[in-house]
Structure 1
Amino acid sequence: MERIVSVRPGIGATASILQGRELRLARVVVDQPTLIVVACGRKRLVNGGGEWVLDSGGAVVVAGGQAFDVINTPGADGGYRASWLVFDARVLARYGAERPEVPAVSAAVALPRLEPDFLDAYGRAVAAVTAGDALPAPVAEQRLREVLAWLGLYGARPACAPGGSVAARVRDLFAADPARGWTAADAARHLAMSEPTMRRRLAEEGQSASRILIDVRMHRALMLLQSTDAPVTRIAFDVGYDSPSRFAVRFRERFGHSPTAIRAGVLESVE
């Protein structure tokens, strides 16, 4: 069965990750509120705020806009298997308005062992995303809200990244269409500010438009390499590179691994 990233606008997105060897990646940014469930192996997330370790049967709730060093380690059978579910911001906003007493996740919350009913709810939520229009949107949202209700019992409400900084706004803009030939002038126009003002504000935040664009493209490529069967050349094109060799150089510079090395660690898909 071909692996793809399933996206249902207004509801969420989901995909699986399969790795055949240990993988260590530095400063991986999680742009959107995400629930990651580990089926086999171990996941470690590390940043200045702490360390979160999940073994098989565990999960982690990650707030949007967080960066971690990530270590995925295969289990006893030689493989690492996990899946992730992203909650649409509108679903989270409606749930948060109804359950404001549940604390929003500031970085990440580890759930060492999930109840069988929680895993059943998670499976239904994933199926609701992959079903597309075959399942009515209100029913699909209700299935994601069931997962949110379970997370609420653990005192963990997924939260979107604060949108106040100029860097965050530029990142969101680029992430919506990473293949586009973005320029600083384009970004400034979309943000309704002059280009010099945007550049100055980004510099004050230790960023630049070009650096953000590269990082957004590399993170999209990483996700596609880990969660789909798309050819590397297609992924390069999908993230804005006409030259696969130039894409490979950028990717290695960012993550310390070549795209083909990431793909070589992916287990064969099974029916």
Structure 2
Amino acid sequence: MSPVTALRSVPAVPDLSRESEVLARLARVVSEGPSSCVCVRSRSQHQLNAMDIDSGLLAIPLQGLKRVREGEGWSTFVPGEIILVPNARKIDMQNVPDERTGNYVAVAIALCAEAVTAARGLVPPQLHGKGEPGAIGRVTLADMAQELLDWCEAMARGDEVRARYVLVGILLKLHASGHTGVLAEPVATLAARIRIMIAANPAREWSSSDVETELATSGATLRRRLAEEGTSLRQVLADARLSYALNLLLTTRLPIKSVAARVGYASPSSFVKRFAERYGVEPSNVGGT
């Protein structure tokens, strides 16, 4: 079964007033810039190829359409639907502005490791998804309306502990409805560990010896393990920097020159070239500027 045909949806009569309330509350909360979610804005349609998703997330279009591809075909999501990415993976993504307003706006809520660990502790190990990552899922906003409103309320109060508690409930509800991949055992790759390390200081001139010291490993072991994962340190470093740059472009109005500097590129033109090679789109076509 392909990832597209595996998308799940629970038939229901939509409560449009309820959906509108949730969308409005989400828009209000993300405008205040909470650290637990990301607001993505754009005024031009663009496609991002092989985008790294480092953890599970809920992506919710507020204006415009989001198209996602994992495998063969594209799936389209509209306001009133939630894209569930159960766990870390690479996906292709298109952001399409609303025809009336000319804007694309979406919120992405990370299914943080703390919430996943807590939820896993409440479910018998044999029900954790059998180690399978699961396909990208489709969830109606109505199915998660109360949970999202609770999350918005917690975030509006600045209570991130309560917000994580709500996420635990969301994870358990998703798991019970058949999206077992949200509690699957995470795959701890060396490349992922290095990407997290680089993301903490992307402008640093990282060398192989720096990474070896941070990970307390030898150069030979580092090269061997990355080769087993089908990558190299050079590729991981480039991906980590460009992924951080992509996040800045999607969530801020920083000029390209500033984004390039923040991720360690002295030459903006070199950054533009590498970014376009990596994602299939120039950075000027990404984001809301």
Counting strand residues as a fraction of each chain, which structure ranks higher?
Answer: 1
Q: Distance in 2 between matches of 1:114 and 1:25?
A: 25
- Give the equivalent residue in structure 1 for 2:209: 185
Tell me: CA distance 1:73–1:138, structure 2 relative to 1, closer, same or farther (3 Å).
closer
Query: What is the root-mean-square deviation in Å for CA atoms of aligned residues?
Result: 2.9
- Correspondence list, 1:133-148, <5 A: 134-135=158-159, 137-148=160-171
Contact 2:51–2:91 (8 Å) recurs in 1: yes
TM-score of the pair, normalised by structure 2: 0.76
Give 3-state SS (helix, strand or coil) of 1:61's partner: strand
Alignment gaps of 5+ in structure 1? 8-12
Identity over the aligned pairs, expressed in percent? 29
Q: Distance in 2 between matches of 1:96 and 1:41?
A: 34
After TM superposition, give the deviation of residue 216 of structure 1 in Å. Answer: 1.1
- Give the equivalent residue in structure 2 for 1:110: 137
Contact 1:16–1:83 (8 Å) recurs in 2: yes
Contact 2:86–2:179 (8 Å) recurs in 1: no
- Give the equivalent residue in structure 2 for 1:162: 187
Counterpart code for 1:42:
L
Give 3-state SS (helix, strand or coil) of 1:245's partner: helix
Deviations 1:216-269 (A, max 9, x none): 111111111112223333322322223333322221221232222224xx27xx
Q: Which moved more, 1:228-237 or 1:26-35?
A: 228-237
After TM superposition, give the deviation of residue 181 of structure 1 in Å. Answer: 2.0
Q: Distance in 1 between matches of 2:259 and 2:246?
A: 9
- Give the equivalent residue in structure 2 for 1:6: 34
After TM superposition, give the deviation of residue 112 of structure 1 in Å. Answer: 4.6
Counterpart code for 2:40:
I
Counterpart code for 2:228:
E
Tell me: CA distance 1:16–1:75, structure 2 relative to 1, closer, same or farther (3 Å).
same
Alignment gaps of 5+ in structure 2? 1-27
Aligned match for 2:267, one of 214, 238, 243: 243
After TM superposition, give the deviation of residue 102 of structure 1 in Å. Answer: 6.0
Aligned match for 2:46, one of 19, 23, 39: 23
Q: Distance in 2 between matches of 1:80 and 1:33?
A: 22
After TM superposition, give the deviation of residue 50 of structure 1 in Å. Answer: 6.3
Counterpart code for 2:270:
R
Residue 93 (str. 1) matches residue 117 (str. 2): yes
